[in-house]
Structure formats: C-alpha cells, structure tokens
Structure 1
Amino acid sequence: MLVSVLVGAAVGVTILQKVIGENIAFGKTAKQSTTYGEYDASKALDETYSSRGSFTEDHVPSWWEVDLRGYFSISNITLTAADMGWNVHMRNAFVEVMDKDVSLCRDVQVEWCGNVPNTVATGEEFTFTCNATFPIRFVRVTRPGIDLLNIGHIDVQGVVATQPYRSYYTSTANRRVSFPSLTTSTETAGACGILCHKSHSCIDFSYRTTASTEANCLLTYKVVPLNSVADHAWSMYTLASCL
C-alpha cells in the first residue's frame, strides 16, 4: 500500500541543517551490480575497510549505488582508491547523483559530478563537486565496459534538503520503528506522514489506530540494522524509492 503525502506545491532545495565533516552516506543502504567474494557494497561506506573496500565482478557496466534514505543538497563526493593493486579497478569510473532509484523509476533526474582519470595510484583520492539543483537521494558510481569496479572508500558531504513536494510511503503491518526520534499523536496515518515529510530528516514512521490523545505516531531518522520490531498494534511506513 502507498500513502501519499502532499505538502505545498514547489520543488526546491532549501538548506536546513549543516553537517560539517560527517559522511552522510555512512551507515546507509548500498548495493552494486555484482559482488566479488566478501567485498559487498557496504564495505565502501566504512573507512575501516578502505584498503580493499567494495568489489564487483565483471559486468556491463559495473556500478555501485548508495541510497541516502533522505534528501540532501550534495556539495562534494570523494572516492578513495584501494590498496594492494586493486586501485586500477577504479579507473575511468564516473559519479552521478539522482533523486530516484534509476533501476525502479523512469522519471529520474540525474546530475553528472565527475570522472576518475585513466591513471589511479594506490590510496589516491578524487573529489568531485556536484551542482544539482534538485534534492538528492542516490549516489551512483559507474565503470563503463566489461570490467571490475573497486571503491576503497566513498565520502559524501552535504546538507539536509527539503523533500520533493510529494512523498510516498510503503506500509508494513505489525511493525513499528524501534528508535523513534519523535513520539507524538495524530488523528490519521496521513497526518503522521505529513509530520514525517515536514521534518525533512525523517525517513520512516509508525502509526497505530487509537485515540489521538495517546502516543500513536512515531517518527525516525535513524538507519540501523534493526530499525523496527514486531508489534501487532502498529503499522510501519517507509519512504518509497520511486516517488
């Protein structure tokens, strides 16, 4: 089920909160075209694994993508090449930012941020400036042709931006968020969704049908492995990838 929340009529990027030095991609959800061994997409988000990072198998093309699970105005993106000779597998890769998941949606806005050169040294860093004028949710790195893609580490810098004027949430019954950032009461699930939309940093919310004077609306901005728990009285609503 989709819950649509309509707030206002204009789509724009409004800076609400500045986060200095924090990698807004850390802890988020990453995926890639294929995975070689244990080097899954999430490894590129954790600097602990920067010597090897994430690694794909041969694919046409090879790509890596992170869902920021929220909307941001991106200032710059830094790619760090891996060690142990794997650095060559980041050559010629290019970076793009998108408002929607290109694998699920048709009407995707895309902004090209930059291209890694043909020569890459071990541990070398490449920083690209993104000038997108729309709110960003996805960052994708692509290496064209039949080749491998290895990213030692990726750092995404940006600030929270307003969401597009319409937000869609998918519903899951019998679940509620386990780490609410705000607990309040509303008369309907839609009203709870509007609060989530207006908070900008909110990515998921839970609602239960009960008296509006009781706490029945939970908002969260946290992305953690166990972000929800079973609870038959609640329904959990997650921000959809294709808006």
Structure 2
Amino acid sequence: MLLSTPELVFIVTCIVVQGGQLQVKAENIMLYKLTRLSSTLSRTNTHQYHSNYANDGSRTNWPARSNYQTRPFWQGDLQGFYTVHNVSITSDSFGYATELRGAYIGVSSVDVDCTDDDVTWCGQWPPDTLHGVTLTFNCTHEQPVRFVRVWRNTTNYLSLSEVEVQGTPTRKNAAKYDKSLNQKLSTPVTAVNAISANDCGIKCHVTQPCLGFSYNPSGDPPCLFTTSTATTTATGWVSYYISTCSHNITCDLTDQFK
C-alpha cells in the first residue's frame, strides 16, 4: 500500500549488496512490533480485543480477536527483513480457542493489502479445540520476509493469544523506495555520517534491520536510520523508506538516492 500524502514523490530504486545473514538471535523478534487485525471485536464500550494483545509478551493475557467476517487475519510487521525460522502461536484460554481452528500461519515480504502478495505457508493450526496451547511451526522461504500472518479461509472469528517469532536479520537484495521531501524520521534508531543520500542509503542497507533513512547534507549527523516509517515535517530533510508493496525487484545499484 503506497503512501499518498501530497508531498510524496514516488520513485523506484534498487540496491544490491553482496553479503549474507547476520548472527541468529534467540529473542522473540515479534515482541511489541506493529500489528493489525482485519477487524477488532469490541466486547463492551470499554474493552476491545486489539491486535497488539497477540505480541505483548504474555501467553495468558487477553487475546487479539477479530469480528465475525470472511477471511479474518492478524498480521505483524517485523519492521525489517528476516529469515524466519519458526513461528509459535498460543491459542486463547478464555473460551475462544475454537476461533483458531484450521488457521494458516505464513510469512510474506509485502503487506496483506498488496496485489502482489507472496505469502509463504508455514503451517496450519489443527482442527481440534486446544485451549491455551502453544504450537511451533517451522518456516522455509527463499526471499527475506517482513510480515508474519495468521488467517482463516472461512467466515468466522479469529482469536489468538500470542505470536512469537525467531529469525535472522537479512539483507534484502533489492527494494522499491518511496521518497518524501521535507520530511524527517520521527524515531531514528541510528545516526551516522554520510557524504550523500546514496551513501546514507547503502549504509542503511547493510545495517539490519533498517526500513528507511533520512538525509540532510546540513544535518549533524546528516544520516538517520529507522525501522519505522513515521516522519515529521523538517525543512531540508529527505526521507526514503521501503514500500510495503515491493518484491522481486531486480536491478543494479546506481546513484538513485538524490
């Protein structure tokens, strides 16, 4: 899904850098990341079964739960590209465990709304009712992925208590970027020196995970990295961030970050 703010200028750029994977980390890389539900069930005016209940670090807290609908889904954004090794799903223990029956577990390099979805299936929840149970599904995929998804191919609810993911940060061979003028990253995680926007982009690419960067030749320092694409208005800054709808991009590195 491409951004459509008035100041947005859409460009296509690619970066190809030799290299492999970084060291495998054992922690849950889905913890506290951005999530979404196809819809959010409200039990009362004061309680909603929000999507982030499924990655709050608790297997016994309230579940994330959708409305009754066709093909309900939960999706988590890893905020970077990874080789996902396994996904652990915990069913609800409050009486909604049946709402996970037959659910599919998968990973994708693009957002669920993209027309070029490339979801890879990792496993399927059994048809039995399993209350408060954690099952682990192994994933095998060729391309680096950014999103983890749980969905049901039926008209029903979807309920899940926790999603935990283990994986390795991976350099995406090439990517399509969006460019935004006079915008600066709101929450940069790394700041470095760079002699140009192109140099900044390359350094972002080899520093994983990194979804985007801001560059200002007058900045001190001029190059900022981020795993979130949130920006704020700032004269003189230009921000580039990987589109949520881009995969199978193949081209050579050229000086396109201008």
TM-score, normalised by the number of residues in structure 1:
0.85
**Which AA in structure 2 matches 1:75?**
H
- Supply the distance in 2 between the matched residues of 1:119 and 1:87 (Cα, whole angstroms): 9
Aligned twin of 1:72: 82
- Supply the distance in 1 between the matched residues of 2:53 and 2:73 (Cα, whole angstroms): 14
SS at 2:58 equivalent: helix
**Which AA in structure 2 matches 1:51?**
N
Aligned twin of 2:164: 155
Residues 158-201 of structure 1: CA distance to partner in whole angstroms, max 9, x if unpaired? 011111323413426333343331321222x2332222122231
Aligned twin of 2:253: none
- Supply the distance in 2 between the matched residues of 1:68 and 1:46 (Cα, whole angstroms): 14
Asked if structure 1 preserves the Cα contact closer than 8 Å seen for 2:183 and 2:231, the reply is no
Change (3 A) 1:126 1:219: same
SS at 1:47 equivalent: coil
* 1:16-165 equivalence runs, <5 A: 16-20=22-26, 22-37=27-42, 38-48=48-58, 50-106=60-116, 108-165=117-174
Q: Which runs of 5+ in 2 are unaligned?
A: 1-8, 43-47, 247-258
Residues 93-141 of structure 1: CA distance to partner in whole angstroms, max 9, x if unpaired? 11111111241232x3331111111113221111100011211111111
How far residue 48 of structure 1 moved from its aligned partner, in angstroms, is 3.5
TM-score, normalised by the number of residues in structure 2:
0.81
Asked if structure 1 preserves the Cα contact closer than 8 Å seen for 2:17 and 2:173, the reply is no
Q: Which runs of 5+ in 1 are unaligned?
A: none
Asked if structure 2 preserves the Cα contact closer than 8 Å seen for 1:51 and 1:84, the reply is no
How far residue 147 of structure 1 moved from its aligned partner, in angstroms, is 0.3
Change (3 A) 1:197 1:2: farther
SS at 2:70 equivalent: coil
Count of paired positions: 233
**Which AA in structure 2 matches 1:68?**
L
**Which AA in structure 1 matches 2:156?**
D
How far residue 17 of structure 1 moved from its aligned partner, in angstroms, is 2.2
**Which AA in structure 2 matches 1:34?**
S
Aligned twin of 2:239: 236
Change (3 A) 1:159 1:216: same
- Supply the distance in 2 between the matched residues of 1:131 and 1:197 (Cα, whole angstroms): 23
Change (3 A) 1:9 1:220: closer
**Which AA in structure 2 matches 1:237?**
Y
CA RMSD of aligned residues (A): 2.4
Match of 1:202 among 210, 229, 240: 210
Asked if structure 2 preserves the Cα contact closer than 8 Å seen for 1:52 and 1:86, the reply is no
Asked if structure 1 preserves the Cα contact closer than 8 Å seen for 2:53 and 2:61, the reply is no
How far residue 240 of structure 1 moved from its aligned partner, in angstroms, is 1.4
How far residue 209 of structure 1 moved from its aligned partner, in angstroms, is 4.0
Asked if structure 1 preserves the Cα contact closer than 8 Å seen for 2:95 and 2:131, the reply is yes
- Supply the distance in 2 between the matched residues of 1:7 and 1:70 (Cα, whole angstroms): 15
User: % of aligned pairs identical?
Assistant: 26
